């Protein structure tokens, strides 16, 4: 048998998950001109692109331009998309071992983290993850209900997801109607009665996880003012010293925006965004099962053993009324059947992308990239270098026989197996039919696209 990766015996790779890390796996393999690779990419949804489709904010269309590069990867001769096929139910690790040399898991971090405070289960308390997936038309979340008749909304956390959620709540219907936000969400947001949006950060402006373009946008709403308390915008001594020493450009920019907003004159617009620092929710207060208010405690910063500035509760309490609360304190990976998982990190157990067992030994043939490898951090492009690292190891391991021993490498064989389990398998050309329909509907209404957010509807479009 010719060596694996040669023209007569191509390396066969299964990619589980079609988000950025999955597509950067393809493009990184494509760069290895001496290696002959065939790649099948699986996704449980009929649509590709993961968070680029279902996570990136609809008013941030530029961030979705990476799709053009993914389309080029999808055009690679050895690439196939197997959409609407779920790893662990339609296809299992044992099946993959019979048909591929290697498998790479790029399934992202679909779960959200909890706050772990009383009242978190009240009606009106949601994860930002759900809200984001809902307004982006993710089929699993299309029927979620969010009570936007509430006047006061709290968003807990100060990362870019919290910024996205607050921004969507502060924008007008006119600002949102030109985006590819799901129609069901546009309709509900058009009726929104929201007046006050509070973003709660547990640390100070110099520790905020948002990035400068996102905090800049908070000062540019047509119909919402941004409010920051002067006392909270001012850096404490330790933060100021750290910033003076590091001169970190993003932090300097963030702090400048925050301090500018703190002295801004309020224009009395219909909506008010309040960005609060050094506060932690300690309880969601409810009545008759519905959230009514957020009890929070004022924090101070202290330097921990490792020299990081951490939040510590003071005795000062404050309660703000809120009928809707979104926690946006980070994502978490979902364990996959037959794949070692690190519960405390919420990632697949791995060493630089090689899946490892409980003893830390590499599991032959199994790899990972993206958020499920390193945790939910970084921008879309971060997944490029992340996938590059893993793909490099996959190629390196080939030389050491680091792969499964498939019994049937005929691409038609695995496709037949998958179709026998999931007759509604969605190929890349099938997806392009949905894509074309969405784009045409978008063109007709002067929007980037009008999303289909129902799987049956997608399948009907595919069947023609
Ligand atoms: P993130 O950037 O990790 O931010 C999480 C936030 O939650 C932090 O402010 C963190 O505060 C806070 N937090 C954590 N536990 C908390 C608790 N128990 N109580 C109160 N606050 C708590 O996560 P993310 O916003 O989910 O974003 C995930 C990744 O996607 C990030 O890398 C982000 O930049 C990226 N993203 C990028 C864009 C964009 O480029 N436009 C858009 C969306 C997401 P501490 O810092 O104190 O821990």
Give the CATH number, domain containing residue 150: 3.50.50.60
Residues 155 and 185 both lie in one domain: yes
Residue 312 located in a structural domain = yes
Residues 228 and 176 both lie in one domain: yes
Residues 346 and 317 both lie in one domain: no
- What's the CA-to-centroid distance between 104 and ligand 1, angstroms? 26
- Read off the pLDDT of residues 322-342 as tens digits, 9 standing for 90 and up: 999 999 999 999 999 999 999
Residues 303 and 177 both lie in one domain: yes
State the pLDDT at residue 399.
Answer: 86
Q: Low-confidence residues of the chain, pLDDT below 50?
A: none
Range of the domain at 341: 11-110+332-426
Ligand 1 atom showing the smallest separation from residue 60 Cα: 41
Mutate which of 19, 61, 111, 157 for ligand 1 pocket (most atoms within 8 A of beta carbon): 157
Residues 141 and 42 both lie in one domain: no
Which residue, 165, 288, 277, 153, is CA-closest to 218? Answer: 165
Mutate which of 209, 215, 299 for ligand 1 pocket (most atoms within 8 A of beta carbon): 209
Residue 100 located in a structural domain = yes
Domain boundary pick from 308, 329, 350? 329
**Model pTM greater than 0.75?**
yes
- Read off the pLDDT of residues 5-32 as tens digits, 9 standing for 90 and up: 999 999 999 999 999 999 999 999 999 9
Mutate which of 128, 326, 329 for ligand 1 pocket (most atoms within 8 A of beta carbon): 329
Domain boundary pick from 285, 304, 329? 329
Residue minimizing CA distance to atom 4 of ligand 1 = 159
Residues 341 and 417 both lie in one domain: yes
State the pLDDT at residue 280.
Answer: 98
Q: Is 237 exposed, middle or buried (0-12, 13-18, 19+ CB in 10 A)?
A: exposed
Question: Rounded distance, CA 110 to CA 453, Å?
Answer: 17
Task: Give the domain CATH number at 82.
Answer: 3.40.50.720
State the pLDDT at residue 236.
Answer: 96
Residue 288 located in a structural domain = yes
Domain boundary pick from 329, 348, 375? 329
Residues 367 and 297 both lie in one domain: no
Q: Pairing between strand 331-332 and 152-156?
A: unpaired
Residue 398 located in a structural domain = yes
Residues 169 and 316 both lie in one domain: yes
Residue 458 located in a structural domain = no
Ligand 1 in contact with 280 (CB < 6 A)?
A: yes
- What's the CA-to-centroid distance between 236 and ligand 1, angstroms? 22
Residues 227 and 348 both lie in one domain: no
| Alpha-carbon separation of residue 95 from 29, 106, 343, 365, 414 (angstroms) | 23, 18, 26, 13, 8
Number of domains observed in the structure of the chain:
2
Ligand 1 atom showing the smallest separation from residue 158 Cα: 9
Contact between 347 and 105 (Cβ < 8 Å) = no
State the pLDDT at residue 435.
Answer: 98
């Amino acid at each position: 048998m010719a060596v694996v990766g040669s023209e007569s015996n191509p390396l066969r790779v299964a990619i589980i998950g079609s988000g950025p890390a999955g597509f950067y796996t393809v493009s990184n393999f494509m760069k290895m001109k001496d290696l002959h690779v065939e790649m099948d990419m699986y996704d449980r949804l009929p649509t590709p692109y993961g968070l680029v489709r279902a996570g990136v904010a609809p008013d941030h269309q530029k961030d979705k331009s990476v799709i053009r590069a993914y389309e080029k990867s999808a055009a690679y001769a050895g690439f196939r998309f197997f959409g609407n096929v779920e790893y662990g139910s339609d296809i299992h690790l044992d099946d993959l071992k019979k048909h591929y040399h290697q498998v790479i898991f790029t399934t992202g971090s679909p779960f959200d983290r909890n706050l772990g405070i009383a009242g978190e289960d009240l009606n009106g308390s949601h994860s930002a993850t759900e809200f984001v997936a809902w307004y982006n038309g993710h089929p699993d979340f299309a029927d979620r209900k969010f009570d936007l008749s509430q006047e006061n909304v709290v968003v807990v956390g100060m990362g870019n997801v919290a910024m996205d959620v607050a921004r969507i709540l502060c924008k007008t219907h006119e600002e949102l109607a030109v985006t590819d936000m799901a129609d069901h969400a546009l309709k509900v947001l058009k009726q929104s009665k929201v007046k006050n949006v509070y973003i709660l950060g547990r640390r100070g402006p110099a520790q905020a996880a948002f990035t400068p373009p996102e905090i800049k946008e908070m000062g540019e709403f047509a119909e919402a003012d941004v409010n920051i308390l002067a006392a909270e915008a001012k850096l404490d001594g330790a933060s100021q010293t750290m910033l003076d020493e590091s001169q970190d450009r993003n932090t300097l920019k963030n702090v400048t925006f925050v301090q500018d907003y703190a002295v801004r004159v309020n224009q009395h617009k219909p909506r008010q965004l309040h960005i609060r620092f050094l506060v932690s929710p300690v309880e969601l207060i409810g009545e008759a099962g519905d959230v009514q208010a957020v009890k929070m405690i004022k924090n101070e910063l202290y330097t921990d053993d490792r020299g990081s500035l951490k939040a510590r509760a003071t005795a000062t309490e404050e309660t703000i009324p809120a009928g809707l609360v979104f926690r946006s304190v980070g994502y978490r990976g979902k364990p996959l059947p037959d794949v070692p998982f690190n519960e405390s990190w919420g990632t697949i157990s791995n060493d630089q992308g090689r899946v490892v067992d409980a003893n830390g030994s590499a599991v032959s043939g199994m790899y990972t990239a993206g958020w499920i490898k390193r945790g939910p951090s970084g921008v879309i492009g971060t997944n490029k270098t992340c996938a590059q690292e893993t793909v490099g190891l996959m190629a390196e391991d080939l030389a050491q026989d680091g792969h499964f021993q498939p019994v049937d490498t005929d691409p038609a064989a695995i496709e037949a197996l998958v179709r026998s389990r999931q007759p509604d398998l969605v190929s890349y050309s099938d997806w392009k039919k949905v894509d074309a329909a969405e784009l045409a509907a978008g063109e007709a209404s002067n929007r980037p696209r009008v999303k289909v957010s129902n799987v049956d509807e997608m399948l009907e479009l595919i069947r023609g």
